[in-house]
Each structure stands twice: as C-alpha cells, then as structure tokens.
Structure 1
Amino acid sequence: MRLTILGGGGFRVPLVYRALLDDPARSVSEVTLYDTDPRRLRVIADVLARLARGRHRPVRVRLAEGLDDALTGADFVFSAIRVGGTAGRIGDERIPLSEGVLGQETVGAGGVLYGLRTIPVALHIAERVAALAPRAWVINFTNPAGMVTEAMAQVLGDRVIGICDSPVGLVRRAARALGTDPAAFEDAGRVAYDYVGLNHLGWLRSLTIDGTEVLPRLLADDAALGSFEEGRLFGADWLRTLGALPNEYLHYYYFRRETLHSIRETSQTRGEFLDRQQGGFFERASAAGAPDAAYALWERTRLEREETYMAHSREASGGWQRDAHDLEGGGYDRVALALMHAIVGDSGTRLILNVRNGTTVPQLAPDAIVETVCEVTSKGARPLPCAPLREDQLGLMLQVKAVEKAAVEAATFKDRGAALRALALHPLVDSPAVAARILERAATGA
C-alpha cells in the first residue's frame, strides 16, 4: 500500500513512521510526505532516516513536489495539517481569553476559529482526492477532527474517516486500572465497550471484560479511579454522579471555571508553549543537518511535549504528573494503522472512529459525524448501535453539533451569520456580544 501524509513536516509524523516500521504485516511499502513548509519537511525526513537505520527493508519515504503529486496513486491519505501553524493557534487561544472565555485549540471559541480557518483548505484537499485518487481512503486527524471530517464528507462521503487517540487511551487506562493488560483491548473477544459522543466530547458508558460488566466496579473503587488520568481529572464523586467515564476534554465543560482560572494564571497558553518549543526544535535540527542530531532533538522535545499535555486541566484538578505509560507518545498512529489493516484485511475490527451517524443517535441527522464504536471492513467503518443517551449527554451533543454544523456552513459559504451563530451558541461562550467581538478580532487579526 502507498500512504500519503499531508502535513508531512508535522512534529508527530515520526510516530506514524515508527508504527509502520514496527508493523509485522509490513502493509505499507511507501510513504509520501507533503508539507507547505520545506524546512520542516527536510527535518522530519532526517528523523525518519534515523528511525529507518538498521531496519530490514525499511518503508521507503518520498517527498512530494506538490499536493497533486502527493495524492496521485495513493491508497490511503492521512491528513494531519495545521492551517496557520502554531501562530494561528496562539490567536485562537488568546482572542477568546481576552474576552474572558476559554481559549483552547479544539474546544470552545478557539476550536470554532480553528475550524473556520481550516475547513476551506480541507475541502480543497477533499476535492483533489476525489479527482486524483477516488479509490483512496482519507484518514483525518486534522483538528477540530469531527468538524473537519464532517466538511470533507460532503465531498468524499464515507471514504473519509476521522480518528482520535483520546477514546482508545481512555479505554486502555480504564482496563489497566482494573488490573487488565491493555493489550487485551485489541482482542474483541475479551474486552468490549460502549463509547459514544462527538470528537473531544464523549463518554465511556460500558466496559466488559470476558463478558462481565466492570465499569460499576471501577466507579466504586476510589483507589482504582485515582490510578489513571481521567479519574484524577474529574474526581471519584463526579464520576460516580455521571455513571460514566468522560473523555478528558469534557473537563473544559464540567470544570470550566477552574480550567479558565488556571489558564489565565499562567504566563503562556499551550499554543505559545508549542510555538516556542517546536520552533526551537526545527531551528536547531535544521542547523544540525544530520539525522542522528535531528532524532535526538526530536525525542527530547517529544517527551517534554507529552509531559506538559493538558497541564492547565491537571493543575485545575489538583496538580499531578502524567504516568510513565502515558508518555510513550502516539496512540493515533496505532489507531490509523489498525484502521488501514481492518480495511485492507476486511477484518470486522471494532474501533472508536469519527463517522457518519446513520441511525446510531436517532436525534442527530444521518450525515452528522459522531465518534463511536464502529465495525471496519473493506467497505469502510459502520457505526454500531448503542444504548440511548442520557438527557445531559444528548443535550450537550446536540448543542455542540449545532455549533459544528454552523461552522461548516460558515466556512463553506463564507457566511458571517453562520460564523456568529457557531460562536454564540457554543456552551463555553456566554454572550452573543462576546462572540461578535471574538469574530471581529479574528477577522482583523487584532
């Protein structure tokens, strides 16, 4: 198979390549990288060259000369672009914060701003895929993943599938907290689960091991809940009240005041940290001009990035360090590889993915993108039926889905009214006047 990575100069691309090198099936024979920043692309190519050294028949890497060159002949297209770079992310976070509301890359006003900027580019990519590689499968990791996947599906239908590493991480951590080897998660005969929501807004509502429902036992065990990230983030009392394990990003919704206070008390946003950190990495690695030096710098930078992930939420929930097994990096790379294997092998593997709803959540439109458990075959990903959502879960999903649909409409048709509606209706934005000011400042760059 030939895999194309759009955003090939992205910092986490080596994680994908490492997963391909470690793949016993050796299903991908060639990786094509495309990026609009040639310096970043050269640096990442150096890191990949170091990873490939000493491997028997390593996966070939090709640098594309343009988007069309990258797409032509691809079997799978992995989209992980960042429109506007980290500088754009800084604005997405700082503008809302200046108005007293949460500024975060994928959640709240920041996520809407990022979507408005990204969707037109994602639609152009979808159109070029349809023209040049109509049989290719597009795996979308570009954030906001649900919103961007929904836009691309207007062109590609079911041949675009969104992925995220948060749900699989939650399931594995929950299984580990109960003393189950997370590797058993890969065996559908031993571990099963019910997860449903939108991207960065979902709940693990059932977890069975060897046919026995174990989530109630986990929720009743303070020590077990305190042994993993989501348990510490949300606290045992609130998790028992919910009767489910929320995706980590729901901390921004459930503990809005605490997280906003934590972010406003720090000297830099996550975007500002990554801008400084990654900018420094690419500058030093480019100057070094050697695969060994580039790889060493990348590994040190990667570890620091993982250690500081969601630092504001961890500070707001009492302050604690991430566990060693959560610092390995990746996750989405393994999801992408499992998805490709399932499609090529027609295996019926079950994965948590972002796909068209169909009838999974009857209150949502059939073409709305949801994040839920899917069965994957050569025909793509089919969402499985799930238990009815509770009113609080459904209400939040409906409101955020209305925001996502308005943002897609605004970006597709350059509709300011739809953009204002997307911002003003978000549950983390508390005033249409605030939404209008955020929109105006984002448009003018002020």
Structure 2
Amino acid sequence: MPTTDRLQLTILGGGGFRVPLVYGALLGEDSPIGRVVLHDVDHGRLAAIRRVLAAQAGSVPNPPVVEATTDLTEALTGADFVFSAIRVEGLAGRVVDERVALGEGVLGQETTGAGGVAYGLRTVPVATAIARRIALVAPSAWVINFTNPAGLVTEAMAGHLGDRVIGICDSPSALARRVVRALGDPAAARIEYAGLNHLGWLTGVRLGSENLLPRLLGDDGGVASFEEGRLFGAARLRELGAVPNEYLHYYYDTEETVRAELKAPETRGEFLLRQQEECYREMASDDPLRAWQAALRQRDATYMALEGLGERDDAEGGGYERIALALMMAIARDEPADLILNVRNRGTIAELDDDAVVEVPCRADSAGAHPYPGAVLPSHGVELVRRIKATERAVLTAAAEQSRAVAVRAMASHPLVDSVPVARRLIDGYVSRLPSLSYLR
C-alpha cells in the first residue's frame, strides 16, 4: 500500500481536454495526491492544460504541484498512481473511425461497432508498450485505465500488469445513481450490474433481500424520470427485466441510429474536433478556465445528441474523476469503497473465463479491486457478451501477431458488422487512412 505522504499521480494523455476534471477532484482537502505529472506527445496541448490547472488551483491552499513532460520514462518515474487516458491519433482518428464505417452503412461509434474495433486495433499496441514501460519503471504503481475501448485496453494492459491495472468508466455508475434516485434514494441499497464495458445491464437494486427494481420498472412515471428509462421505454425495460447501459441503444436500435448519423451534418468526432480546436486556441486567452468550462458545458449537453438521442437534461459532468479519486483513496488510505470497475473476471461471471476483463461491482481497498462474486448476466445478454468478448480477443491477437487477416476476422465477428466482405473493406479503409495501423500486414 502506498504511503499518503505526497503521492504522485502521472496522467498519460495529460494534454487531454478532460484532465481538468481529474485535477479538480484532487483539490479537495482529502486528496492523497501531492504531485501531478502530465505526459503527452503534444507540447502545445500540455501548455494549454497547465494554464487551466493553474487557474483551477487559484487560491486553493497547497494544491498538488503540476509538472509536464513529453518523456514517458520521466513521467512514470516515482509514480504511485498512473491514470491512462490516451487517444492514439487524437480526435482526427475518431473522425476516420466514424466516417469509414458510415461509408459502409455500419455504425462507427468510438467504442462500439466498426469504429470501436478500429480504435482498439490502433490503441492496443500503444497501451501494451506503455504497460511494459510501467512494469519496468514503476512496478509498484497502480494503473487506472480510462483509455477506450476501456475493457479491451484494460485486458491488454493486464497481460503485463496483472491486477495492478483497473479500468474505470462513468457510465454504469451514473446509471446506478439515476436508478437509485428514481427509487427515492434508499439508504444502503446494493447495485447488481454485470457485463463488459459499454455492454452491461443493471439487474437489481437490493435492499436487504428485496429487489426494488421490478417496482420501478412497473411504474411508467418512475421509468420516465431517468435517462435510460426515456431512451429505452418502459415496455422494453419490463420485457428485459433490467436497465441496459445507454450504449446498448446501438445494439437494440442499430438501423435507426445509423440513419440518424448519416443524416447528421457532422459526426460526434467532427463536432468534438472542431470544438476542441477552438477551445485550445481560446485557452491562450487571459481566462483559460472560463474557455474550458464553456466547452465542457456544451460537450456534456450534447453527449449522444448527434446519434439522434436529443440533448440530455440530466448530464452529470462525467463522473469518472470521482470514481478515480475514490479508487485512489481506497488504495492509498485503505478506505474501502464499492465501485463498478473493469477487472479480471476470476469466476465472477460464469459464462466468461477467468482472465476476461468484465465490468462488475467491486470492493476496492489497499489490496486493489475485488469483484463481488456471482454477478449474473440477463439471459438475453449472454450471447451478445460472448460475441463481443470474442471480438476483443481477436483484436488482441491481431495486434500481437500484427495480422491483417486476423484484424479482418475481428471486424467481421462483431455483430454490428457481421460480414467478411464488409470487414475487409473496412480494414482496407482504416489502414489506408490511419498510419498507426500500418503494422497490420
């Protein structure tokens, strides 16, 4: 267990737009972090984010010291925690993910469908190299992975870091908060949730031996009071007997979603690329924090809107930074916390092998994250989870073997592609436009 005397947090992707969310969470009195080292390959973005963090610290007494470097080994040296939030080829790469897929009439979302496979193929080699470097330079560090596709990347890094890498995502925790709030915020309620990252279901809200979820699903007004209820509808939720993660919309309503994206004037990636280019320019002004905050509000309000879901009226500003802080507090100070995390399965979900990274409720403490036993997938979700895990494994194999043929197999195996000819054209398109995929032969 690390001591709490000025612990060091290294943030990989330290010039990223959401870094101020993490730093803001560290400004509270209880934060165990005394030093933050930002690492990025882009000097300009690092400088812009440092300006925002300095403004955030303002008059806060004894804020964490911030340093920045483009040297990975320097950044990792002395790290107690490593927060990984990289984006290989940046938002321009995401635009390619989306546009190549839509050109074939299939979904190009960054973690789901063809776009998610392409993102994984270019990210896994980089994440694996980073994991090897961490194992050499900072073997006692705990790695918190937010790099997407989060479950796949966490599994790739776990091959070198074991249980010292833990994946986080704000989506299932936000879902749980909304459902519990719709039930009237019962004290000591225990959440039952199972699946993979961006592919899970909330199956129960336990208060003692009673599952409160059926009561909520039977109440049309209660279902309409939270985002996923409005997205999926009360009838569908009652049929499922569970509340899906919002990303299941891409599987349940695929044709509708693709049609909406094809009609949209720009993809989500194009919107974010345009917005961030403007925002980083404005960060050079006298008020970089205000420029960043304005862009964040717009980003949150339009989350998933370009996929045809409309603007969110209950956006909660992310939330992953609170999960990251709670996880660091649990490890650094042995303050146990119940969190939904991406960890190795170890028998938790019966349908998957022990090394598969799954997204399930865990108890976090000084020894890491421990999944609660017996997470249960809804019967209607079992085959989908198996297929997506098989796709993830094929991506890992393609990256390890640098095999274009296996990459095609991975793409074709995804249920939202499900075609070898389409998969072959997709891989050809991605390789021709993404230099990071030139390793595929």
Alpha-carbon distance in 2 for matches of 1:322, 1:390:
27
Alpha-carbon distance in 1 for matches of 2:350, 2:158:
19
Matched, 1:111 2:116: yes
- Matched to 2:343, the amino acid is V
Whether the aligned pair in 1 keeps the contact of 2:117 and 2:411 (CA below 8 Å) is yes
Alpha-carbon distance in 2 for matches of 1:390, 1:56:
49
Provide, for residues 323-355 of structure 1, a one-character-per-residue CA deviation record: whole Å limited to 9, x for no partner: 24x2x4130000001111111233332211001
- 1:209: how far off? 4.0
* RMSD across aligned positions (CA): 1.4
What SS is found at the alignment partner of 1:21? coil
**Residue 100 of structure 1, aligned match among 87, 99, 105:** 105
Within a 5 Å distance, the mapping from 1:325-340 to structure 2 comes to 326=315, 328-340=316-328
What SS is found at the alignment partner of 1:29? strand
- Equivalenced residue count is 428
**Residue 370 of structure 2, aligned match among 377, 382, 397:** 382
Task: Identify which range, 120-129 or 358-367, moves more after superposition.
Answer: 358-367
- What residue in structure 2 maps to residue 224 of structure 1? 222
Task: Identify which range, 5-14 or 354-363, moves more after superposition.
Answer: 354-363
What SS is found at the alignment partner of 2:364? strand
Q: Aligned pair in 2 of structure 1 residues 303, 210: CA closer, same or farther (>3 Å)?
A: farther
Matched, 1:202 2:200: yes
- 1:406: how far off? 0.4
Matched, 1:17 2:11: no
Whether the aligned pair in 2 keeps the contact of 1:163 and 1:335 (CA below 8 Å) is yes
Structure 2: give runs of 5+ residues left out of the alignment.
1-6, 435-441
- 1:284: how far off? 2.4
Matched, 1:149 2:149: no
Provide, for residues 7-31 of structure 1, a one-character-per-residue CA deviation record: whole Å limited to 9, x for no partner: 0110010001111102x32311111
- Matched to 2:391, the amino acid is V
- 1:421: how far off? 1.2
Alpha-carbon distance in 2 for matches of 1:90, 1:424:
21
**Residue 305 of structure 1, aligned match among 287, 299, 306:** 299
Structure 1: give runs of 5+ residues left out of the alignment.
185-189
Alpha-carbon distance in 2 for matches of 1:10, 1:249:
23
Which TM-score applies when normalising by structure 1? 0.93
Whether the aligned pair in 2 keeps the contact of 1:259 and 1:312 (CA below 8 Å) is no
Whether the aligned pair in 2 keeps the contact of 1:93 and 1:269 (CA below 8 Å) is yes
Alpha-carbon distance in 2 for matches of 1:260, 1:241:
24
- Matched to 1:139, the amino acid is I
Provide, for residues 117-154 of structure 1, a one-character-per-residue CA deviation record: whole Å limited to 9, x for no partner: 11111011101100000000000000000111111111
Matched, 1:5 2:3: no
- 1:54: how far off? 0.9
Alpha-carbon distance in 2 for matches of 1:255, 1:443:
29
Which TM-score applies when normalising by structure 2? 0.94
- 1:364: how far off? 1.3
Alpha-carbon distance in 2 for matches of 1:377, 1:5:
21
**Residue 407 of structure 1, aligned match among 386, 391, 395:** 395
- Matched to 1:7, the amino acid is G
Alpha-carbon distance in 1 for matches of 2:60, 2:333:
25
- What residue in structure 2 maps to residue 36 of structure 1? 41
- What residue in structure 1 maps to residue 3 of structure 2? none
Whether the aligned pair in 2 keeps the contact of 1:357 and 1:364 (CA below 8 Å) is yes
**Residue 273 of structure 2, aligned match among 260, 272, 275:** 275
Identical-pair percentage: 55
- 1:268: how far off? 0.5
Alpha-carbon distance in 1 for matches of 2:202, 2:376:
13
Within a 5 Å distance, the mapping from 1:11-410 to structure 2 comes to 11-22=17-28, 24-180=29-185, 190-209=188-207, 212-286=210-284, 288=285, 290=286, 293-313=287-307, 315-316=308-309, 319=310, 321-324=311-314, 326=315, 328-410=316-398
Q: Aligned pair in 2 of structure 1 residues 237, 270: CA closer, same or farther (>3 Å)?
A: same
What SS is found at the alignment partner of 2:33? coil
Alpha-carbon distance in 2 for matches of 1:429, 1:65:
38
Whether the aligned pair in 1 keeps the contact of 2:305 and 2:312 (CA below 8 Å) is no
Alpha-carbon distance in 1 for matches of 2:208, 2:360:
21
- Matched to 2:280, the amino acid is F
- Which runs of structure 1 show a deviation greater than 3 angstroms over 4 or more consecutive aligned residues? 209-212
Whether the aligned pair in 1 keeps the contact of 2:216 and 2:223 (CA below 8 Å) is yes
Whether the aligned pair in 2 keeps the contact of 1:194 and 1:386 (CA below 8 Å) is no
- 1:178: how far off? 1.8
- Matched to 1:307, the amino acid is A
